[in-house]
Structure formats: structure tokens, C-alpha cells
Amino acid sequence: MNDARGEMDLSGDRGFQDVRESVYHVVLLACAVVSVLTTIGIVYSLAAPSVAFFAEVSAAEFFTATEFNVNIQPITFGVLPLAFGTIIVTVGAAAVALPLGLLTAIYLSEYADSRTRAVLKPMLEVLAGIPTVVYGYFALVYVTPFLDGVLPVELNTFNVLSASLVMGVMIVPMVSSISEDSMSAVPDTLRQGAYGLGATKFKVSTRVVVPAAVSGIASSYILAISRAVGETMIVVVAAGNLPNFPSGPGDVLPKFFEQTQTMTAAMVEVLTSEIGGGTVAYRSVFAIGLTLFGMTFALNLVSDFVAERYREEYD
Amino acid sequence: MTTDTNTDTDTVESVDPGLGRVSRLRGAVFRYVTFVASLVGVASLGVLLAYVFWDALGMDSAQPGWYAGFFLLVVAPFVGFVLRARTDAVAGEVALELFATVAGGIQGGFALVVVLDVIAGVDVWLSYFLTTIGPAVAVYLYGRLNRAASWTGLGILATGLLGPVAGTLLIGRIDVVVSGVGAPGIYLLTVTLPAALGVGLLVDRNEDLGDGRWATLALFALGVAGVLAADAVPGVSRSVWQLFVASFAAPTGYVVARNLADQERWSGLAGPGALVVGAGVLLLVDGPLGLVGPSPWFDWQFLTSPPSLTDPSTAGVYAPIVGSVFVIVLVAVFTLFLGVGAALYLEEYAGSSGLRGAVARLVRINISNLAGVPSVVYGLLGLAVFARLIGTGIGTVLTAALTLSLLILPIVIISAREAIAAVPDSQRRASYGMGATRWQTVRNVVLPRSLPGIMTGTILALGRAIGETAPLLMIGVPAFRRDEPTGLFTRTGALPRQVFTWADNPNPEFQYGVLAAGVVTLLVVLLTMNSIAILIRNKYERGDV
Amino acid sequence: MAKENTEVDAERETRTERTRAGDPTDTAPDQLISTDPGREGVAEQDDEPSGATETVIEAHGLDVYYGETRALDDVTIEIPSNRVTAMIGPSGCGKSTFLRCINRMNDLIDVARVEGDLLFDGVDVYADDVDPVALRRHVGMVFQHPNPFPKSIYDNVAYGLRVQGDTDDLDGRVEQALRRAALWEEVSDRLDDSALDLSGGQQQRLCIARAIAVDPAVILMDEPASALDPIATSKIEDLIDELAESYTVVIVTHNMQQAARISDRTAVFLTGGELVEVGPTREIFEDPEEDRVEDYITGKFG
């Protein structure tokens, strides 16, 4: 056979084919690099105006002043009331989403049969897929009037409570899907070991599976909180546009029934009126954006770190 | 996996009662609590959806008699079918397929009209069809017929690169043809006819169905003859008719015919069939019987009128829809190209060691972090980098498309990577073992195998992009615009942006009427995209694709 | 369900272990008894013409590492053309690693590192100017599990010719390859059907057809029959016999009976990637020089 084939060429000079290979390699690499450029773009777009902003407004004022007011003199750029708004909304959302998400994950992972799971999981995915502006609309138009009728307190048209309830529903799937993954990753030998010792299903779920999956659950919690911190449309539509800082610890709870302004809502409010640019108020948006980016980035890193630890445990 | 362990222990208990009993009360309560908890979110969303659909369809204004008819003819058959579908998996599947095809066909038709007729215009479409799309399809088909033709891939690539140039030159030089044949005629030949031929091919391939030529002929005849019917309907031009025959009638006809040909699938047709018949009967009888039906906000007038801030009765979403379609089509093109490219690089080219491996690791970490950046921050990126630095303009179509593309790119890349990683390694080894190069392996083995998964992930991500509002606010998409965008650099309205504008209006006619209709428009688009994605995923998992 | 699963798994595991462990003990004594050294030894000498065929592949001091693990240890071997050479040895002994070195499939594994010389047709396979893609176009490969592409039968066989841009008389060469792989009679009327509709044995013969369609010099086979039933296996073995008339076949197997049946020469790898002995098949099975090889073949080892 060899003689029929003549000299074998192994040098692999295939002319056009080689060119094509390298062109595609470069094109695909360029596609992957776009994501790095995106990060650079985000850092650039946040940092440059922020630097200009802090040249005019001291960092001390930005991080300690308890008023945020860009329209009426004296103009004050205190991020604290906005951060308070973000935190109170996030706490409300977490109070709904974290327990519901965990219980959902336990049900899906430990109790549900495969048919129920096949129906329930896509439905939960739909929860996460509804546009947030629609959730905001639900909170404003349906949830707030309903709560106003049911609760004994007086509820503002724009209020933290209904925004955070609705936001909680929205982030349930985020908690439940990651938590369920980590529970499913708990080896069955652990469960069987516990059953072997005479544990009931309830004991196995709560004393064996949940503790074993705790880092995955924690990771999902942090990620969900990060999501709530960065959420914009629900609070813009339903929670109002008035920075609202408590006068003392006892003043915190009533704030749930009043309107507030989160960091994201303040960004929207200022930018929709100051789109022209060049003003301090315009730049303050980027300073708030940078703070927000820092917060969510830190939360995501912690979540990754926690999740990484759990992977090591069982792989 | 673990559920049956429960029954396991139950059996042990009942078989061996002599050993005494461990209290199961707490366990039973806990199980019940987890079950209820997992339904809370879904149920509350269901209630809210019911409210918004009720308002958008103006159900309040109907008479009790109409409700009775509606319940008997529409709700009861629907509920009955849902109960049946619980035990009959095929029925649910067929219903999903029908819903995805019908809703997808209608919305695809809408998008087609917007892209071809409103934004591009028939002369632009014809130019690119003649120079790019037509030749590329012809070369591809030739390659399928003539097995030895090895140059077809190169030919398609060349057409893709040179065609648009030639097409741009051709615009304006074919006015004679355009005015001679007329826009409907051009759509008939370039859109309806190819769709009819495609359905004919599918029918030919399906053993249960008859001769594909009849299907082609029937669809073509529908395109020609239906023009007369279309003339009678206000708001439907002959061009629109052609595009809807291609995007709605062709696929729906095929899906219905295929399901009719398979007796096992008849049960699935019963539900949708009963629903259509019920609704039809209701529409026929409510006039003669004097039943006053609902006065929906969400109707043809709403979809085809420009938005209004002051008059709820004439307000519509036409311009915002055109803007959203324009933006999303661009986003789809950008993210499909960039997302699949990046995923292919990371999975097939990068490797895991050395410098390339380090770069790839960096890119992977970077992508997962980008997926967690709030959308409002992407808006700032779009404003600072695209709108201002590069100069694509504040609130323009291009700025919106680029910003939303970057926003969903991480999701597209992550899902595409999963789909690519799911291609068995044995397939790659077989290809490399035959002396295929990396690209040949990617193109012939990896891409065809992972395409359904990639499509599923991309459609879901595009659904997210359609509803995103915060970035649009940041890049200055105008609160209100009556005109549809005409080019990449015109400022545009967008559906979610319009919804947000209306949300500010305390007038109840807006809050519970126009706004509800806008929300329903968004939700219908999203539900359709979700069901198409689920349909593709189901077929893919069963190995049909 | 979880409990049951593990039980089934465990059962399956013991079963496979049993077959693996059983192989040598069941077959090796058979071999030793059934061959008659007196008569056939002479024939064997004729069958092993030391000078008549040239060496296609030779390795000198070949080492392969997967990260820190050594998979091949100083392997030196010459593989003659137009003969069937079998590689046998216990699991994880490096025989498949050696096979994958020949067409540089190890390049696809990131952590693999190759040292030493491996010559194909006198050219160092790992030289800088050798392109693995070009090399693989001369060295076909058939894998353990049949892995046809989810395309038509025709497109599977034509795949190699197409990627090499060599599409003259495609129909004729597809038919020729299918005939040589003894599959033509079974599929000639349904070339456009999906290859996945074929049975496992037919799929593996299709993979062989796919490999020989591009007319390679060498065909590497990595346990090509281990996933098939006995009837399909015997068809593949007959086929390998015929292929040796035109091609150099290197086959990895851990079925020693199979190696004895179909190969002209046998190389025995033992744990640690060491090539312990190589020689004419009969000599290896009847009178190995190394005690360790005899232990392995009679089932005392492995």
C-alpha cells in the first residue's frame, strides 16, 4: 500500500485550510475577549466620572451625609439614605425569598416525585423570567391596594413592603435552584447512613441533607441578596422616589410602610432628568453605580468562595 | 432519586408493626410545609397574572350571561383538558407544540413585517435577497444534492461576505422591478414561495403525510388567492398577508397536519381544538343572544396604534413594539455570533494548561462575574461607552442593541458552553481521528450536535433582553415616542420603556387598562418565547432534533 | 430508589470485575493446550518473514506522562507493515496510551507529555514540522465504542474524504470502503438512512469503513469488539484478518483469545506502562521469554 501512496507528507502544509484554521481561531478568540472588554468597559465607565465626582464632592460627604438631594438647595450627595433604602428593601425581599427558597429546594430535592418536579421547576423558572418592570407594576397596582385593605397600618401608595414582597417572590427560584443543586449533590450514602440508624425522613432532611449542603445554600442566599441589591425596576415603580433615612433604631420598622429611594432608583431618577451630562448630579450617578457595583461584586465573590468550598467537600 | 426512600421506610414500618412506631407527625407537617412553600411563589404569580389578564381583556364590563357562556365554552373545556394532560403526557406535548407554533407564528409574522416591510422596506429586502440570501441558500441546496461538491462551504462564506456589498450597491437600481412586480408579489416570490417549498420538503420526508407538492401548491395558492380576503380586512395589506402565510399558516398547517396524521396524538389536539371551537361559538352567539362581552384594552387597535399619554382609548404600542423588535433582532444577531464564538473558543480551543489555559480561566471567571452585575450598571456602560465615547447616540436603536447584547452575553455564553460540553467526546475523537482539523470538527460535529441547546439558551436570554428596562432608562431611551424608528441611529421607543412611562400615570384607565394591556403584550411575547425554548429542549432531550 | 441503584451498581461492578478477572484464567490455558508447537511452530516461522515486510512504526525509549503520572515507560518496539500487531495487558497498563501516541490523539489531552522517539514511515511523529492533522490522515483509528456521527451512512463514510478535500469519485470510494468493511450488502439500499439506525456491530463496521475510506497506511483499533456481542465480534475479527492484506493493523485488546486468533505479532504491556515483551504471537503465547508474561497469560497475574 505504501508504494501506491508514494511519499507521505506529514508536514501538514494544507495551504488554504491552514489559513482558514488560523482565521477561525482568531475570530473565536476575539469573541471570547469581548467579555474581558466588557469588564474593562464597566470599570472605565464607572471610574472616570466617579473620579471627577469625588474631585467636587468629598468622599466624606458622600459616605456620611444623611441626605440625598440634587434638586433643592443646598444640594447634598449623601449615599447613606439610598443605601438604607436598598438595605431595607433587600431585607424585606430576603425575609420572603430565603425561607421560601430553602423549603422549596428541600421539597424538590427530598420529597417531590419526578413528575411534580418536571412541572414545578419550569414554573419556577418562569418566576425568574418575568420582566422586573412587570413585577413593579404588580406591586404598585395590585399588591399595595390589597395590603392597604388588609393591614391595620396606613400604607403609602409607594412603599417598601409590597416592593420587597414581590421582589422576594422573584428571587425565590434563584435560591431554590442553587440550593437544590447542592442538596442533590449530597451523596446518597449519607442519607442511607442516617436511615440505617433509624432516622425519619424529616430528620434526614433537616439534620443530614441541609447541614451537608449548607455552603451551597449559603452561596445561593448571598447571590439572591446580591440580586436584590441590584434590582431596579420593582423599586422604581413601586417603592417611590423619596430618600428616607430613619432618625433612630426605633424608626426603622415604620419605614417599611413609607416610600423610600434605593441606590438604583436614585440613579434612574437623576439620569432620566440629567441625561445631558456634565453636571455634578450626572456624575453622582456613576459614583452611586460604582458603590453598587462594588457591593454586588463583593457579594458575588463571597458567594463563589463559599460555593467553591462546598465543591471540594463532595467531588 | 431520593423520593422513593420515603415509601421504603413506610413499607418497613407497616410490614413490621411489632417494633413499635416512631412518630411521623412532625415529618408529615414538615413535608406539607415544604410543599406549600414551593407553591407560594407560583400561586401568587398566578393570581397576579389572572388579575392583569382580566384587566387587560376588560372582563369587568361583560354581563353575567356572557360569563356563563365563557365558562361553559372556554374555561370548562380548557380545565378539562389540563386535568387530562396530567395523565396523558402526549396530550400536553401536542398542546405545547401547537401553542408554540401558533403564538410563535403570529409573533414571528409580526416581527417579519416589522423587519422587512417597516424597517428595511421591500427594495432593500429584494436587493439582499437577490445577492446574499438567495445565492447562499442555492449553494447550500446544491451541496446537499451533489455530494461531491466540496466547495459549498466556501461558497456560502463568500456569498455571506460579498453578497451584502453587492446588495448595498443594488439598492435603488432595481426600482423598475420593485414597481413592476409590486411589494406583495415580491414577498410572494421571496418569502411565501420558499416557505411553501420548505413545508413541501418536510411533508415529503414525513412518511405519514402525502405528497409534498400538494402542500407547496396549497400554500402558494393560499398566498395568491388569500389576497382577496386580505383586502377585506382593514389594517392587513397584501404584503402583510404574504408574510403571515409564510410565518404563520405554513408552520401551523404543517404541525396540525402532522399531529392529525398520527392517531396517538389526536388526544392532544382535542384541548386546543375545543378551545378554538368554544371561542368561535361564543363569538358567533353572543351578538344574536344579546350578551354583552368584555371590552378588551388588549386588542388589534392597541397593537397597531401609536402610544398616547393623555387618551387611554386610542393609546397603543405600535411604535414601541417596532422599536423592541428592531433592537431584539440586532441583539439576537450580536449575541448568537459573539456568544457561540466565545463558548466555542472556551470549550474547543482554549485547553486548560499553559498560557492559553490561564487566559481561558480568566475569561471564565470574568464571565461568571459579569452574569452577576446589575443590569442598571450595564446601562451606565452603554451610556458612557457606546452613547458618548463611541458616539452611537443617546437612546438610539444601536446603543440599546449593543447594551442589551452585552447584558445577556454572559448568559448566552454560559448556556452555549453547557450545550457544547454535552457533545460526547467520542464524536470529537472520531472526527480528529479521521484527520479533521479543529474547525472542521467544530463545524461538522460539535455545532450541529449542540445547536438545539444553544438555541434554547439564546431564546431564553433574548426573553430576558426584551423585558429589561433599567438599562434603557440609563441610555436615555425616550419615555414616549409616537414614531417608529427608521434606522440604527434614530432614537427609539421600546415596549418595557413605554410600560414604565404609563406606570407613572395615576389615571385608573391607564393603570388598569392601557398599562395592563402593555404588560400583557410583554407577557404574551415572553410566554411564547419560553414555550418555544421548552419545545426545542424537549425534542432535543428525546433526540428528535 | 437510591438504595436500589447503588445495589444494582455494585452488582454490575462485581460482574464486570468477574469477567475481567475471568478472562485470562479461562482462555489462557486453552491457548497453551490447543496450539501444537511441533507442527505449527514451523508454519509460524514462514508466517513471520523478518525481512519481507518493512517497519512502518518504530518507537525508541518512548515515555508518556499524564501530569505527574507515568503512563508509558521507555517503550521500544517495531511494528511491521501489512501485519496485525496486538497490544495486550491488564487495564491501565498503557497499551491504549501507546496506540494514541501513534496518531497523536494524546495531543487532545492537555496534560499529556511525550518524550523519546516515535517514527512513522521513518519520520519522527513528534518533530516540530509534523502536523498531527496530516499524520491522522495516514493513520486511521477505530474506537472501543462504535461512534458513528448522527449523519447518514453515506455521509459517515465520506466524512474523511470530505474533510481532506478529496471528493473525486466519492460514490465509488464510499461503496469500495463499505465493501471492504463487509457492510455493503447490508446497507447498499439505504445509504441515506441515519447511521444510528444500524445495530452495534454494523455501526462498528461502519466506523471501520469510515477509517479505511481515506486509504490510510495504518489502522489503529482500540478494543474494537469489546462492546459487541459474540457474533458481531467474530465478523469484526474476520474483517481484521482481511484488512491485514492491505493495511497495517495495530489492535489493542484485553481479550487474549482474540489477540491469539487474529494477530501476527503481540506486544505485552504490564502495569506501569512497561512493554515487557514483543514477538510473534505464537511465541508469546506458547513460550514467552519473560516469566511475568507467562504469569499474565496463564492468569497468575493481572
How far, CA to CA in Å, does B509 sit from each of A223, B314, B331, B505? 39, 12, 34, 9
Neighboring chain C residues of A14 at a CB cutoff of 8 Å = 131, 133-134
Taking CA atoms, what residue in B is nearest to C149? B427
Averaged pLDDT, B500-505 = 88
Radius of gyration of chain B from Cα atoms?
A: 27
Which residues from chain A sit within 8 angstroms of residue C118, using beta carbons?
Answer: none
CB-CB under 8 Å, C105 with B433 = yes
Q: Range with the lowest mean pLDDT among B258-272, B436-450, C58-72?
A: B258-272
C-alpha to C-alpha distances, C31 to B460, C130, C299, nearest whole angstrom? 62, 42, 12
**Residues in chain A where the model's pLDDT stays below 70:** 1-8, 11-14, 275-276, 310-315
pLDDT digits (tens, 9 = 90+) for B180-218: 888 899 999 999 999 999 999 888 888 778 788 888 999
- The C-alpha of A173 sits at a distance from chain C's nearest C-alpha, in angstroms, of 26
Question: Is the minimum CB–CB distance between A304 and chain B shorter than 8 Å?
Answer: yes
C2 vs A188: CB contact, 8 Å cut-off? yes
Q: How far apart are CA C58 and CA C42, in angstroms?
A: 27
Cβ distance A272 to B526 less than 8 Å, yes or no, reads: no
Burial of A160 by CB count in 10 Å (0-12 exposed, 13-18 middle, 19+ buried)?
buried
Among residues C42, C41, C77, the alpha carbon closest in space to that of C277 is found at C77
pLDDT at C228: 85
Give the per-residue pLDDT at A276.
66
Residue from B180, B163, B78, B87 nearest B127 by CA: B163
How far is the C-alpha of B533 from the C-alpha of A129, rounded, in Å? 13
Largest CA distance in chain C: 63
Largest CA distance in chain B: 95
CA distances (Å), B320 to each of B244, B326, B481, B497, in order? 21, 10, 7, 8
Percent of chain B with pLDDT over 90: 43
Is the Cα dihedral B415, B416, B422, B425 positive or negative? negative
Give residue B398's identity as a one-letter amino acid code. L
Which residues, in sequence order, are bridge partners of residue C119? C58, C124
Q: Which residues of C touch B (CB under 8 A)?
A: 1-5, 103, 105, 108, 110-111, 133-137, 140-141, 143, 145, 147-150, 154, 158-160, 162-165, 167-171, 207, 210-211, 214
Measured between alpha carbons, how far is B355 from B363 in angstroms, rounded to an integer? Answer: 12
Give contacts of B430 with chain C, Cβ < 8 Å.
Answer: 143, 147-149, 207, 210
Nearest-CA distance C133 → chain A (Å): 7
Q: How confident is the model at residue B271 (pLDDT cuts 50, 70, 90)?
A: confident
**Residue-level pLDDT at B52:** 92
Test mutation, A33, A45, A203, chain B, max B CBs within 10 A: A45
How much is the pTM? Answer: 0.87
pLDDT below 50 — which residues of chain C?
1-51, 302
Residue of C1, C106, C144, C157 for testing the chain B interface, max B β-carbons within 10 Å: C1
> B11 to chain C: which residues are within 8 Å by CB?
none
- CB-CB under 8 Å, B432 with C108: yes
Alpha-carbon distance B262 to B275, whole Å? 21
Phi and psi at C53, nearest 5°, equal: -110, 150
The confidence band for B8, taking pLDDT boundaries of 50, 70 and 90, is very low
Over 80: is that where the pLDDT of B320 sits? yes
C135 in reach of chain A (CB within 8 A): yes
pLDDT at B233 over 70: yes
Burial A68-106 (b: 16+ CB within 10 A, else e): bebeeeeebbbbbbbbbbbebbbebbbebbbbbbbbbbb
Q: Does the CB of A113 have a partner CB in chain C at under 8 Å?
A: no
Give the C-alpha separation, B137 to B143, whole Å.
10
The three three-digit cell numbers of residue C219, written as one number: 489502522
Q: With an 8 Å Cβ cutoff, are C150 and B440 in contact?
A: no
**Residue B434 identity:** M
Cβ-Cβ contacts under 8 Å, A46 against chain B: 377, 380, 384
- Contact call for C131 and A1, based on CB within 8 A: no
Q: Report yes or no: B433 at the C interface, CB cutoff 8 Å.
A: yes
* pLDDT per position as a tens digit, B22-41: 677 888 899 999 999 999 99
**DSSP sequence for C228-264:** S-HHHHHHHHHHHHHHTTTSEEEEE-S-HHHHHHH-S
Q: Do B24 and A48 touch (CB under 8 A)?
A: no
Q: Which SS3 state, helix, strand or coil, does residue C155 take?
A: helix
Residues 399-428 of B with CB under 8 A from A: 406, 409-410, 413
Rg from Cα positions in chain C = 20
Of B363, B374, B534, Cβ closest to residue A35: B363
Within 13 Å and on the Cβ side, how many CA atoms surround A301? Answer: 7
Looking at the partner chain, which of B44, B344, B373 has a beta carbon nearest the beta carbon of A42?
B373
Among C228, C163, B234, C218, residue whose Cα is nearest residue A21 = C163
Give me the phi and psi of C276, to 5 degrees please: -85, -45
Helix segments in B345-483, DSSP class H: 354-370, 375-381, 397-421, 425-433, 438-441, 447-467, 470-474
Q: Residue B15's pLDDT is what?
A: 47
Q: Provide the 3-class DSSP secondary structure of residue C125.
A: coil
Q: Does A130 touch chain B (CB under 8 A)?
A: yes
More confident residue, B96 or C249: C249
Residues of C in contact with A1 (CB under 8 A): 81-82, 215, 217, 246-247
Contact between chains at B515 and A141 (C-beta distance less than 8 A) = yes
Chain C within 8 Å of B3 (Cβ-Cβ)?
yes
Q: Binning pLDDT at 50, 70 and 90, where does residue B545 land?
A: very low
List of domains in chain B: 89-264 (no CATH), 318-542 (1.10.3720.10)
Nearest CA in chain A to B33: A103
Closest chain C C-alpha to B66 CA, distance in angstroms: 51
Angle of helix B318-344 versus helix B89-112 axis, rounded to 10: 110
pLDDT at B537 over 60: yes
C207 contacts B430? CB cut-off 8 A: yes
C2 touches chain A (CB under 8 A): yes
**B530 chain-A contacts, CB cut-off 8 A:** 125-126, 129
φ/ψ of C55, rounded to 5, equals -85, 125
**How confident is the model at residue A13, as a pLDDT?**
65
Domain boundaries, chain C: 152-210
Contacts of residue C99, Cβ cutoff 8 Å, sequence gap at least 6: C87, C141, C220, C222, C250, C252
Q: Which three-class secondary structure state does DSSP give residue A152?
A: coil
Residues of A in contact with C54 (CB under 8 A): 2
Q: How many CB atoms lie within 10 A of CB A266?
A: 24
**B458 and C CB contact within 8 Å:** no
Decide if C119 touches A, using CB distance below 8 A.
no
| pLDDT at residue B360 greater than cutoff 80 | yes
pLDDT digits (tens, 9 = 90+) for B42-90: 999 999 999 999 999 888 888 888 888 888 888 888 888 888 877 777 8
Whether C6 contacts chain A with CB within 8 A: yes
Q: What is the pLDDT of residue A310?
A: 62
